Amino acid sequence: MAEERRRFSIGYALAPKKQQSFIRESLINLARERLIDLIKIDTDKPLIDQGPFDCILHKLYGDDWKLQLVDYKAKNPNVVILDAPEAIERLHNRISMLQVVSELKIAQNDRETFGIPKQIVIYDAETLRDHRSWDGLKFPVIAKPLVADGSAKSHKMSLVYNHGGLGNLKPPIVLQEFINHGGVIFKVYVVGEYVKCVKRKSLPDVLEDKLESLGGLVAFSQVSNLANNEMTDEKYYQMMHLDDCEMPPQEFITDIARGLREVMKLNLFNFDVIRDTRLGNRYLVIDINYFPGYAKMPSYESVMTDFFWNVVAKKERREVVENEDNEDKKLVDKFGIEGVCQ
């Protein structure tokens, strides 16, 4: 009789909206076929009383949740936490978020280069009014909340055309120089070693000679949403054919993705990239998000299930090695002979 293969359990702790979009029946069923059971963690009960889990998948914040994860890991050292809270927190600040790009050890060539737009952080209204403190930036600028914690407030951004639009902003904010990029943004999804780049409509280019004649600012929630905003020029998007837009080289994007993964020590994230139309081969990372809307990614169920399987299979191999090492140690202690199990 064939030995029954062991099943793996992955506990997930997600906010209701994220759970609804990500934990779909199609994902649950495909994971189940691969011997992986996705189990909802009851956040009203202590984590330590639930499980046991081979892996914990989460996107919750707060000191209490962090302490629960630490306690669970201490009592279950082989559990895999996706991902470490301290690594995720770096993405909650829009300055430290993009500083990771400068830490990448990737050789750049003449064909494609990358970086980030010029940006500064404004902590108070007085500094916002004092134009001398940020003379290095040119209009237009994107104003983003400094905190990027996934809340609705953190998504409220503005495209500011001139000084007249600054009065409605509320610090602390980040002012990021807007770069014309042909109305296209590239969203790069990372799931472990898997990297997928897709293109979306974005903010239309802004002509410099029209800055003063435009309104002070336009508010929006996400860069890709402004394409549908009533204040944008619909003709711009009718003339622009997204399908004709050339994708960045896959190898180039993959190198950046793997570099970010290594520096941030995260497995689940996406980053937004634009192509500077002034240079053509210059790409700028403008945002990085933890555990994004993967359900928007083509075939997300199979991608996530393959990733889950790699995580739990690697965990099992590590446990086997540890058990073998422990058995060897016991025999050495008993007989004084090394390698008896080899």
Residue 94 assigned to a binding site:
yes
**Which spans in the chain are helix H?**
16-22, 25-33, 63-75, 85-88, 94-102, 125-129, 234-239, 250-264, 300-335
Give residue-wise pLDDT tens across range 308-327.
999 999 988 887 766 555 54
Task: Kindly report, residue by residue over 163-178, the tens digit of the pLDDT.
Answer: 888 888 999 999 999 9
- Determine the pLDDT at residue 111: 86
Q: Say whether pLDDT at 232 is over 70.
A: no
Please tell me whether 186 is known to bind a ligand. Answer: yes
Indicate the CATH number for domain 8-83+300-313. 3.40.50.11370
* CATH 3.30.470.20 intervals, the chain: 90-290
What is the reported pLDDT for 217?
75
95 labelled binding-site residue? no
- Does residue 184 have a known ligand-binding role? yes
Mean pLDDT of 198-204: 91
Query: Average pLDDT in the 137-158 region?
Result: 88
- Tell which wins on pLDDT, 164 or 231: 164
What average pLDDT does this structure show over 178-200? 95
**Which range is least confidently modeled, 73-82, 145-154, 246-255?**
145-154
Question: How far is CA 283 from each of CA 5, 18, 152, rounded to the nearest angstrom?
Answer: 47, 30, 28
Kindly provide the b/e burial profile for residues 301-317, where b requires at least 16 CB atoms within 10 angstroms of the residue's own CB.
bebbbbbbeebbeebee
User: Is 102 labelled a binding residue?
Assistant: no
Per the CB < 8 A criterion, the answer to whether 117 and 143 are in contact is no
CA distance 192 to 283: 23
Would the annotation count 285 as a binding residue? no
| Tokens standing for residue 17 | 């909206």
Higher pLDDT, 331 or 164: 164
Yes or no: say if 207 and 214 are a contact pair by the CB < 8 Å rule. no
- Where does the chain hold its CATH 3.40.50.11370 domain(s)? 8-83+300-313
Q: Does the annotation list 182 as a binding residue? A: yes
* Token code pair at residue 52: 């046991």
pLDDT at 89: 94
Q: Which of 269, 264, 67, 61 minimizes the C-alpha distance to 149?
A: 61
The structure tokens listed for 25 are 């029946």
* Amino acid 235: pLDDT: 53
- Sheet with 194-201, strands from edge to edge, namely 113-115, 282-290, 268-275, 184-191, 194-201
Q: Which of 80-84, 198-202, 257-261 has the lowest mean pLDDT?
A: 198-202
- Two tokens at 328? 């060897």
Number of helices (H), then strands (E), belonging to the chain: the values are 9, 14
142 is annotated as contributing to ligand binding: no
Give dist(CA 167, CA 164) in Å, integer.
Answer: 7
Architecture of domain 90-290: 2-Layer Sandwich (3.30)
Q: Residue 51, annotated ligand binder?
A: no
- CB-based burial of residue 157 (10 Å sphere; 0-12 exposed, 13-18 middle, 19+ buried)? buried
Q: What percent of the chain has pLDDT over 90?
A: 61
Structure tokens at 262: 């290594």
Mean pLDDT of the chain: 86
- Find out whether 198 is annotated in a ligand binding site: no
Assign 252 a pLDDT band (cuts: 50, 70, 90). Answer: very high
Q: Poorest-confidence range of 86-100, 136-150, 207-221?
A: 207-221
pLDDT confidence of residue 207: 83
Q: Is 183 annotated as a binding residue?
A: yes
Please tell me whether 21 is known to bind a ligand: no
Per-residue pLDDT at 219: 81
Flag whether 178 is marked binding.
yes
Would you say the pTM of this structure is higher than 0.85?
Answer: yes
Chain-centroid distance, C-alpha 286: 12
Identify whether the C-beta of residue 73 lies closer than 8 Å to the C-beta of residue 82: no
Tell whether 144 is in a known binding site. Answer: yes
What per-residue confidence (pLDDT) applies to 320? 72
What is the pLDDT averaged over residues 145-157? Answer: 86
Please indicate if the annotation marks 287 as binding a ligand: yes
pLDDT band at 197 (very low <50, low <70, confident <90, very high): very high
